[in-house]
């Protein structure tokens, strides 16, 4: 009887030990998984810290976000100067790599650059593949049309069958396609090429950001095009784009942008490049949401 009780006790003790061992193994597995996830999220930030430099993709042709002033070989713009201030506050060197709009996101995926800043809109589809900082710019979309007849466009539904000028992978081209327009694509060209094509009829309209289009028209007043007076649509947020798993880098960028927002630096830079307007805050305009647009 005593032997039987002893055997039962040994078996029970073995079960308890096995259960404890399973808990420890499960705990170790969880900790290992969390550690691997943390290492992945830290790797991009660690890589940047080790090199002492952030490599940022931008177009260099998007006035006033990223461009070269006439007669100058120094890149500047709202986005560019924000990035310079971010790098300065993080005590890092900064270098820019220039790509056409359609090549910027693929350059992140290939590892050629660490991030992108080029008035890049935050969308649900993009968030599946990339991480975004907190927004540094709020705006909405408008449309450049011919000055003489508004390119025959009164409503967004009138875009069907028209020709749109823009990059193939931009949100603006997706909006044009949503309403049945065909997009004529460009390489990394300056604003005047887009505007002249609308004026001479090669294209009918250009959808783009309100602030960017307003200033492009101001800089090129001799081209007979204008902003459509009645169409304001698709509220937008622009942010810095990073690799999907770079959570530590995102945290550092967000903290820095928040500091710049609170101390007035974002407002100051915005007013310098947007004619005294503060694009770092949400606009008060009545802007139409586009139903059924898959972004």
What CATH number labels 48-136+239-273?
A: 3.40.190.10
* pLDDT computed for residue 216 by the predictor: 87
Same fold, 48-136+239-273 and 139-235: yes
Blockwise average pLDDT, block size 10, the chain, 295 residues: 38 34 42 44 89 97 91 97 98 96 92 96 94 97 97 98 91 95 88 94 96 89 97 96 96 98 98 95 90 86
Torsion of CA 47, 53, 59, 61, to 10 degrees: 170
Architecture in CATH for domain 139-235 = 3-Layer(aba) Sandwich (3.40)
* pLDDT computed for residue 190 by the predictor: 79
* pLDDT computed for residue 51 by the predictor: 97
SS (H, E, C) the chain: CHHHHHHHHHHHHHHHHHHHHHHHHHHHHHHHHHHHHHHHHHHHHHHHHHHCEEEEEECCEECCCEECCCCCCCCECHHHHHHHHHHHHCCCEEEEEECCHHHHHHHHHCCCCCEECCCCECCHHHHCCEEECCCCEEEEEEEEEECCCHHHCCCHHHHCCCEEECCCCCHHHHHHHHCCCEEECCCCCCHHHHHHHHHCCCCCEEEEEHHHHHHHHHHCCCCCEEECCCCCEEEEEECCEEECCCHHHHHHHHHHHHHHHHCCHHHHHHHHHCCCCCCCCCCCCCCECCCCCCC
* pLDDT computed for residue 119 by the predictor: 93
* pLDDT computed for residue 41 by the predictor: 58
What is the rounded CA–CA span in Å between residue 138 and residue 238?
A: 6
What are the residue boundaries of the structural domains of the chain, listed by start? 48-136+239-273, 139-235
* pLDDT computed for residue 35 by the predictor: 43
């Amino acid at each position: 009887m005593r032997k039987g009780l002893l055997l039962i006790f040994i078996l029970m003790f073995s079960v308890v030990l096995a259960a404890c061992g399973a808990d420890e193994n499960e705990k170790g597995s969880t900790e290992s998984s969390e550690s691997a996830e943390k290492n992945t999220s830290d790797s991009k930030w660690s890589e940047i810290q080790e090199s002492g430099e952030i490599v940022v993709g931008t177009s260099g042709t998007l006035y006033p976000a990223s461009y070269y002033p006439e007669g100058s070989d120094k890149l500047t713009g709202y986005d560019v100067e924000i990035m310079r201030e971010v790098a300065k506050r993080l005590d890092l060197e900064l270098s820019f790599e220039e790509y056409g709009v359609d090549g910027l996101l693929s350059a992140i995926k290939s590892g050629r650059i660490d991030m992108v800043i080029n008035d890049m809109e935050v969308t649900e589809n993009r968030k599946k593949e990339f991480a975004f900082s907190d927004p540094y710019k709020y705006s909405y979309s408008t449309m450049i049309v011919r000055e003489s007849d508004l390119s025959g466009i009164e409503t967004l539904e009138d875009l069907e069958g028209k020709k749109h000028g823009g990059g193939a992978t931009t949100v603006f081209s997706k909006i044009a396609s949503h309403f049945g327009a065909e997009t004529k694509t460009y390489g990394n060209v300056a604003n005047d090429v887009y505007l002249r094509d609308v004026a001479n009829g090669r294209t009918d309209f250009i959808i783009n950001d309100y602030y960017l289009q307003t200033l492009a028209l101001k800089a090129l007043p001799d081209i007979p095009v204008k902003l459509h007076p009645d169409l304001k649509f698709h509220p937008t947020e622009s942010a810095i784009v990073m690799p999907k798993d770079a959570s530590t880098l995102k945290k550092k960028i967000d903290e820095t942008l928040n500091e710049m927002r609170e101390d007035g630096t974002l407002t100051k830079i915005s007013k310098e490049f947007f004619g005294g307007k503060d694009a770092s805050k949400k606009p008060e305009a009545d802007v139409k949401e586009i139903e059924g647009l898959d972004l």
